[in-house]
Amino acid sequence: MNLDLSGVFIPCTTPFSSVTGEIDITALRINFKTWLTHSIKGIVVGGSTGEALLLDENERTLIITTARDLISDERLLIAGTGAESTRTTIRYCKLAAGCGADAVLVQPPAFYRGAMTDSVLLNHYLAVAKESPVPVIVYQVPLHLNTIEFSSKLLTDLSSLENIVGMKDSRGKLDIVGEIVSKTRDDFQILVGSGAIFYGGLELGAVGGILAVACLAPGPSVAIHKFFKAGNFAEAGRIQEIIGPVHKKIVGSMGVPGVKAAMDFIGLQGGEPRPPLRPSPGPSRDKILEVLESAGLDIKSE
C-alpha cells in the first residue's frame, strides 16, 4: 500500500476533565481545530504523547473517531496500536482501520524484553503487517521509556516486509537516522521523532517528522519542512535553531506533563496528565514559560 508520509505530523495529547478524569472531547476538538489551521501532513493519536498506555480500548476508539470526524481526507490520521501481544496488536490495528485511521504506528512489545530477539520481533511484525488493513509504521520508542531498541539488521528486514511503509525513530541521534536510511529499502520512509534534530534528519533523507514540539509550535515545525523542500536551507536551519531548544527543554526534559503545561500557556487545552503521571510543578512551569517566551511563541495565559 502506497502512503506518502512526507511532512509534519502532530502527535496529539489527550485532554482529561479535571472533574471526572474522563477524556474531554470538547477540549480535544479545540486543539484539533487549532492545529489543522496549519499545513500539517496529519495527526497521530494514541501515541506516547497521547498517554496511550493509560487509555482503555473504548477511549482509544473514541479518540480515533473524533479525530477522523475533524480531519479531511487530504490529511492523514495515524493511530498508535502497539500492544504486548501480537493478537491484541492486530485487534487494535483492525479497530483503528475500522474507525478511519489511514495507517497504524506500532511500537514493539517490551515487557518480556529478554525474550524479544530479532527473530521473535520479526515474526511479530510480519503477522501484524499481514493482518493490518492499513499500512504499518514501525515505532522506535524513546529509549528512556520501557522499550526495546531495534537492531540495524532487524530494521533492514522489517523494511522488506509488505505493508510496512516506514518507521518513526525517536532516539534523537542523527547518526542513527543516517544508518537507517542507508540500510533500508529506497522507498522505506523515515520519520524523525525528535524536534531537536528535525532539520538534520531531513538532510540525511528522512521524509518528515512526528514531532511533539509541533503541539506547541506547529507553524515553525511545518516551515522547516517547507523551506527545506524548497531548497531554502538557511531559513529552515534558522527556524530549527528556534524550536530545537523548545524540544530539548520541554518535550525531552519534562515529557507529557511539560507539553501539556506549555499548551495551557499558549491557549491550547493541555490540562493535567492522567495518574500516576503528575502535573508539572511550579518551578518547572516557570521554566516552561521562559522557554516559550524565548522562542517567541504567543503566550495566552500565565
pLDDT at 192: 98
SS3 for 9?
Answer: strand
Query: Residue 302 has what pLDDT?
Result: 65
pLDDT confidence of residue 2: 80
> Which class is 7-230 in CATH?
alpha beta
Cα separation of 289 and 19, whole Å? 26
- List the chain pLDDT tens, one digit each, 302 residues: 589 999 999 999 999 999 999 999 999 999 999 999 999 999 999 999 999 999 999 999 999 999 999 999 999 999 999 999 999 999 999 999 999 999 999 999 999 999 999 999 999 999 999 999 999 999 999 988 889 999 999 999 999 999 999 999 999 999 999 999 999 999 999 999 999 999 999 999 999 999 999 999 999 999 999 999 999 999 999 999 999 999 999 999 999 999 999 999 999 999 999 999 999 999 999 999 999 999 999 888 76
Closest CA to 225 of 4, 1, 3: 4
Tally of CB atoms within 10 A around 146: 10
Distance in angstroms (rounded) separating the CA atoms of residues 39 and 24? 25
CA distance 202 to 190: 9
Q: Rounded distance, CA 274 to CA 152, Å?
A: 35
| Structural domain spans, the chain | 7-230
Name the active-site residue from 41, 94, 130, 168. Answer: 168
Measured CA to CA, the distance from residue 161 to residue 151 in angstroms comes to 16
Nearest residue to 96 (alpha-carbon basis) of 83, 112, 109: 83
At 19, which helix (H) or strand (E)? none
Residue 168 is a catalytic residue: yes
